[in-house]
Amino acid sequence: KTIPATLIPGDGIGPEIMDAVTEILDAVGAPFAWDKQLAGMAAVDATGNPLPPQTIDSIRRTGLALKSPLTTPVGGGFKSINVTLRQEFGLYANLRPTRTFVPGGRFDKIDLVLVRENLEGYYAAMESYIPVGDDPHGIATGAGYNSRAECNRIVRFAFEYAVKHGRKKVTLVHKANILKLLTGLFLEEGRKVAKEYEGRVECNERIVDACAMQLVIDPWQYDVIVTTNLFGDILSDLTAGLVGGLGMAPGANIGEKAAVFEAVHGSAPDIAGKDLANPLALLLAANMMLEHVGRDDLSTRIESGIRSVITKPELLTRDLGGKSGTREFTAALKQHLV
Residues that bind ligand NAI (CB under 6 A): 13, 17, 69-72, 82, 246-247, 262, 265-271, 277-278, 281, 319
With respect to ligand NAI, which residue has the nearer C-beta, 78 or 107?
A: 78
- Measured between alpha carbons, how far is residue 228 from residues 156, 231, 309 in Å? 13, 6, 36
With respect to ligand NAI, which residue has the nearer C-beta, 223 or 319?
A: 319
Shortest separation between residue 245's beta carbon and ligand NAI, angstroms: 7
In the list Mg ion, ligand NAI, none, the entry touching 233 (Cβ below 5 to 8 angstroms by class) is Mg ion
In the list Mg ion, ligand NAI, none, the entry touching 265 (Cβ below 5 to 8 angstroms by class) is ligand NAI
Alpha-carbon distance of 316 to 330, in angstroms, equals: 9
Shortest separation between residue 13's beta carbon and ligand NAI, angstroms: 6
- Alpha-carbon torsion (155, 150, 193, 289), positive or negative: negative
Write each residue from 71 to 110 as x if it is in contact with Mg ion (CB under 5 A), else as -, in one continuous string.
----------------------------------------
Number of residues that bind Mg ion (CB under 5 A): 1
With respect to Mg ion, which residue has the nearer C-beta, 232 or 322?
A: 232
Q: What is the DSSP letter of 78?
A: P
Q: Evaluate whether 96 touches 264 at the Cβ level (below 8 Å).
A: yes
Write each residue from 227 to 246 as x if it is in contact with Mg ion (CB under 5 A), else as -, in one continuous string.
------x-------------
Q: What is the DSSP letter of 172?
A: E
In the list ligand NAI, Mg ion, none, the entry touching 246 (Cβ below 5 to 8 angstroms by class) is ligand NAI
Which of 237, 299, 247 has the alpha carbon at shortest distance from 13? 247
> How many residues comprise the chain?
338
Residues marked active site are found at 123, 175, 209, 233
**Taking CB under 5 A as the criterion, which residues in 248-287 touch Mg ion?**
none
With respect to Mg ion, which residue has the nearer C-beta, 189 or 233?
A: 233
Which of 240, 99, 236 has the alpha carbon at shortest distance from 165? 99
Which of 97, 137, 95, 149 has the alpha carbon at shortest distance from 259? 95
- Alpha-carbon torsion (70, 76, 78, 79), positive or negative: positive
For strands 121-130 and 111-117, give the pairing: unpaired
Shortest separation between residue 108's beta carbon and ligand NAI, angstroms: 22
With respect to Mg ion, which residue has the nearer C-beta, 233 or 319?
A: 233
CB proximity list for 214: less than 8 A, separation 6 or greater: 206, 221, 222
In the list ligand NAI, Mg ion, none, the entry touching 250 (Cβ below 5 to 8 angstroms by class) is none
Q: Evaluate whether 111 touches 100 at the Cβ level (below 8 Å).
A: yes
Q: Which residues bind Mg ion (CB under 5 A)?
A: 233
